[in-house]
Each structure stands twice: as structure tokens, then as C-alpha cells.
Amino acid sequence: MRRVVFNQKGGVGKSSIAVNLAAISASQGQRTLVLDLDPQCNASQYLLGMDAYHGGDGPTPNVGTFFAQTLSFRLKEKDPLEYVHATGFENLSVLPSNPELGEIEHMLESKHKIYKLRALVKALEKEFDVIYIDTPPAYNFYTLSALIAGDKVLIPFDCDAFSRKALYTLLENIREARDDHNDALEVEGIVVNQFQPRARLPQQLVEGLSEEGLPILASYLSASVIMRESHDQAKPLIHLAPRHKLTQEFVALHAELNG
């Protein structure tokens, strides 16, 4: 299963959702990979720690290395598993990102490398039960590459009025990617994130989306400072605080997606 976590708005929790769902999959015995396509490297730093990127561009080889080698016929292609790095958590691996992605994007576009990620993911699928693909906060070459490579799309929604308006553009982008490149792609659902049940606006926004027929998932994720602590300690919630309310909400979301 290849799940893409996508929203072209920043700050909606893409990396947090991708990493924590992946960590739950791994904790349940599934061989799980997080593939980080965001040049900000948030998911990679979450799993490997900030020290892995201290004073440099992080572990190598990485997804930037992979895309760079597609630009030159002189470089020998690596075994796909060479790009994958172990984390400190059983069954959980990461294909880390690199800031170089931003520098080479225009070259990849001009040389029509849009299907290269799909080939890599299909090769890695033989080694992993679940692959989570974290995307940048934009609809660009890397996001489209992810949509071509994936089979399900998970959309984080942070209960913001601007995000609600942007959802329709986002869904149209997914439909276009499906029609033009990947007819097996499907929207798995919209994840309500950073939900505040006592606040009126989030409730109204979510109710409005449901009334409009959008695929809102039943398992909401609350706003909590534990998420910041989880990032700071480079420890997914299922390992940091397994009994915490937010952790249990992630477990419920994972069960809903995989039930």
C-alpha cells in the first residue's frame, strides 16, 4: 500500500500524520517506510533527530541523491534499498529528504522525470508492506510525482476557513493527476487535524464539509502540546506516550484507514 499525505497548504500536520501513522503500522509488525519529499525535511528529522541534519544536508544517499542521479546517464543506478535508512524503531525505515530537492526541481521538470519516483516506489514495495509518502506544501513536481506513485491520498485539514476554500482546488489537482497519470489513485479521506471540540468555528467548518459530501474521516486529531514534545524528542507518539489522548486518536485513525 502506497499512501500519499498531501495538502498544498503548510502547517496542516502532513509530516506529523505521516510519521505517526507509519509508526503505528510498524509497531503492529508491518514493514513500514516513510518517503520524505519535502525539502524542509520535517519527517526525516522527526524520525532521525535534528542531529542527523546538524551542519549539513542529512544522511546520504537520500531522495535528493536519487533524483540527481536520474539527471545523468554517467552515474550508475543504485539499488533502491541503498537510499533507505533505518530508524531507532523496529520495522520503521525512512528514505530521507534533502534541501537539494529545491535546487534541482526545474531540471527534473525540463527533462520529464515525473515517472521516476513511481519506478523507485514500485521497487521498494517488494521490501515494505506500507509506504507513506510525505509531500511538500505545494502542488509541484514532487507532489505530482507522489500522486503518480501512490494509490491512496490522505488529506490533512486543520479547521481553518482558508484551508476549506483550498480543499476544492486540491481535490481538483488530485482528479487531474488521476485522469492524466494514475487511474488507480483514490482519495482515502480528509483527516480533521488540530481539532478543538469546544470551539464553534472548527465544528461549523467540519459540519459544512460533511454536508457538502466531502469524505471526512470519523477519527479526528486534537490539538496538543504533546506533538511538539514528540518532534523535539524525535519519538513518534506511540513510543513517547502510548496512552495519551492524541496517541489513541492516531490509533483510532489508523484502524479506520486499515479496517
User: pLDDT, tens digit, for every residue of 124-154?
Assistant: 999 999 999 999 999 999 999 999 999 999 9
Cα pseudo-dihedral 191, 195, 200, 206, rounded to 10: 0
Lowest mean pLDDT among 18-27, 146-155, 162-171, 230-239: 162-171
Bridge partners of 136?
A: none
Say if residue 163's pLDDT is above 80: no
Q: Which residues 6+ apart lie within 8 Å of 22 measured at CB?
A: 32, 33, 34, 92, 130, 132, 236
pLDDT, position 120: 97
Say if residue 92's pLDDT is above 80: yes
The CATH number for 55's domain is 3.40.50.300
pTM: 0.96
> How many structural domains compose the chain?
1
Say if residue 77's pLDDT is above 80: no
Give the H/E segment covering residue 95: strand 92-95
d(Cα 107, Cα 41) in Å, to the nearest integer?
Answer: 20
pLDDT, position 75: 60
Mean pLDDT, residues 15-19? 98
pLDDT, position 198: 78
Query: Which of the pair, 83 or 200, is modelled with greater confidence?
Result: 83
Mean pLDDT, residues 33-48? 97
Determine phi and psi for 175, rounding to 5 degrees.
-60, -40
pLDDT in tens, 41-53: 999 999 999 999 8
Say if residue 61's pLDDT is above 70: yes
Say if residue 178's pLDDT is above 80: yes
Q: Which domain range does residue 24 map to?
A: 2-258
Determine phi and psi for 131, rounding to 5 degrees.
-125, 120
pLDDT, position 74: 63
